[in-house]
Structure formats: C-alpha cells, structure tokens
Amino acid sequence: MGIEIDVELLSEFERYLDPAHPEKSRIPAKVLGYGEISTVFEIGREEQRDIAYKRMPIFKDGSELEKYEASFNEYIRLLSSLGLRLPGYSYASFCSDTGSPVFFIAQRKLDPSSIASKAIHSLPAGEVSRLCTHILRELARVFEHNDANPGAEIGIDGQVSNWSIDGFDPAAGALPDEVRLTYFDTSTPLYRVDGVEQLDPELFLRSAPSFMVWIIRLFFLEDVMTRYYDFGLVATDMIANFYKEQRPELIPGLVETVNDFFSGEAVALGVEPLTVKGVNSYYREDALIWTLYLSMRKTDRFLRSRLLRKEYPYILPGRIKRR
C-alpha cells in the first residue's frame, strides 16, 4: 500500500471535525472533492500535505465496515490485474465518539494540475479528444474483461475528474507524447459475482435524507448501481460531464471521438453509437436528480443539526455550477 497513516491524528481530527465548516475545525481540513458517500480532503498539517484522505462515516457497525474493507481490497486487486495504474494508498478505521465506525482511505496526493478535469481547461479541442481516447482505452480493459467474464463483472466511473495525467505540464498546451493515466476513484468498489453486487447498495442510501430513502431506493438506486457496468452509459456520462466542467462546446466533437473508438478499436464490444441529443438528455436528467438530491441533503442537515440538535456527520458541497 505504501502510505503510513497517523491514526492518532485522524482520530483527533474526527473528534473535533465541524462537518458544516471543515476548514474551521480544530485540525483544519481543505476539501479537495466530494463524492456521494465520501469526501476528499487534505489535513492542514505540513507533514500531511502530500496525502489526500477520503472520509466515509457511513457504517453502522464493525460488520458492515469489514465487508466494505474486503470489497475495497478486492476492487483494487481487480483493477490492478487489468493493468490500470492506481495511486499509492492505505486506509484506517476506528470508532468515533458516537460509537459508529469511520473509514479513512489515504491516497498519495496527485498534482492538482494533472487531474484531467482541470487539464481540459488548458488543452485545445484536439488534445482533449486525444485525452478521451486514452481514457476510453483504459475503460476498454474493464469492459473487455466483462465481455469475457460475464460472471465476474467490474464497474467503473470514467469521468475525467477521476483520472490523472502523468507528467502533465499545463503550460505546454498539449498532452505528453506518451500519455499515461492514473485512475484514483477506488472508494466505491463496484463489481459483481454471478450477477450479485458485492457492495451493499444500502450504503449509497446511508447519507440520504430519511424522508427520501424510499424514493431513491425505488426509482434511482438500481440505475446508479448498474450504469457503471455499461460501456455506452459510462462513455455518455464521461462526455455529459463536460457540461458541468464548463466546456460544452467540446461535446459534439467528443461524441464523434467516442463513436470512432466504438466502431474501430472497440468494435468487438458491440457498443451502440452515441448521439449529441442522447448526451444532452442524459445530462439534463442527471443534473436534475443530483441538484434535487443535494438540496434535500442540505434540508436534512438543517433539520437534524439545527432543529433536532443531532449530529450530522456528512460534509456537503456548496452550490455546484452545472452549466
């Protein structure tokens, strides 16, 4: 794994964390990114500057955490076995003052300018297209495996925000001659054995407002759990995210790039071509769902922390600009 974690420091960090204002905690945290079941942050201590932590306060008991830990380790093994490059990592867990286990994943922090979602803002259209082709080649490793092993499928989120470009120089205005990518979104271990999801889908609901859980379970959970096993949907999601990344003008060209890949290098996988209309429709629906979901989570935080005076353990993002 390669990273030594200061568990005592993490325990102290958790004890005095202010989830509503993590930067104002006794041990301040700089939030680097948000996920649906984890928050990525840097601890404000000089000796911790090269480590990115993911905090997951979603487990009810040690049994749940142990099952997740086993799934996490297996997911790392599976992705590595396919040749995907992953950052150095480690993890630790302990019980918070409330008695609930908290899981922390530590990854070697990557150069922020190398994250593909940031790099696309300093690259011309042709280089962004080239970048997406390289991402598609990495994703194809997963879907070629799935095609050959239907009883042992792997899911993956291919958004540009989940990849780092080795040796990227934003001042160069181009990708390196040899493009090498690192995939770092490993905290949601999606894989199936004989069609059975190995990650407990209820964990996705743990941070949802209680008054929305049944709606999400009934109408959205299956979609969230299955979309990352479909190469066409993963590619659609990757391109649609360019709206959120504020580069919508690239989408028509990227649809062509993806379709060229599917009809060329990946023709054996039989993926249907994408359309700009389909990408737009996908993004509008997805943005509406997640905007509503975040709004309801903020309402839930207010009700629990301000009115009921209960702990709200999740760190929520501010307003997200989507278009």
What is the pLDDT confidence band of residue 210, given thresholds at 50, 70 and 90? confident
- For residue 218, count CB atoms less than 10 angstroms from its CB and return exposed for 0-12, middle for 13-18, buried for 19 or more: exposed
Which has more pLDDT, 26 or 308? 26
Measured torsion, CA atoms of residues 190, 192, 195, 198, in degrees rounded to the nearest 10 = -80
State whether CATH 3.30.200 applies to domain 7-108: yes
Q: Report the interhelical angle of 125-148 vs 251-263 (nearest 10°).
A: 40
- For residue 43, count CB atoms less than 10 angstroms from its CB and return exposed for 0-12, middle for 13-18, buried for 19 or more: buried
Question: pLDDT tens-digit profile of 53-107?
Answer: 998 888 989 999 999 999 999 999 999 999 999 999 999 999 888 888 999 999 9
Domain boundaries, the chain: 7-108, 112-307
Examine the pLDDT at 143 and tell me if it is beyond 90. Answer: yes
Q: What is the pLDDT at residue 239?
A: 97
Question: At 290, which amino acid appears?
Answer: W
Angle at 252 between CA 251 and CA 257, to 5 degrees: 90
Q: Report the interhelical angle of 276-302 vs 231-244 (nearest 10°).
A: 70
Contact assessment for residue 131 and residue 123, using Cβ atoms and an 8 Å cutoff:
yes
Q: What is the pLDDT at residue 37?
A: 58
Examine the pLDDT at 219 and tell me if it is beyond 70. Answer: no
- Provide the token pair at 49: 């500057």
Looking at residue 191, the DSSP 8-state letter turns out to be B
Rounded CA-CA distance 30/282 in Å is: 32
Q: Write down the H helix ranges in the chain.
A: 7-15, 62-81, 116-119, 125-148, 202-205, 213-219, 221-226, 231-244, 251-263, 276-302
Q: What is the pLDDT at residue 72?
A: 95
What is the pLDDT confidence band of residue 317, given thresholds at 50, 70 and 90? low
Question: pLDDT tens-digit profile of 5-38?
Answer: 889 999 999 999 888 888 888 999 888 877 655 6
How high is the mean pLDDT of the chain? 89
Which has more pLDDT, 319 or 100? 100
Angle at 171 between CA 168 and CA 176, to 5 degrees: 35
- Provide the token pair at 77: 């093994």
> Which one, of 167, 186, 170, 169, lies nearest residue 178 by Cα?
167
Contact assessment for residue 155 and residue 190, using Cβ atoms and an 8 Å cutoff:
yes
Question: At 37, which amino acid appears?
Answer: I
Q: What is the pLDDT at residue 215?
A: 76
Q: What is the pLDDT at residue 322?
A: 53
End-to-end CA gap in the chain:
38
Examine the pLDDT at 305 and tell me if it is beyond 60. Answer: yes
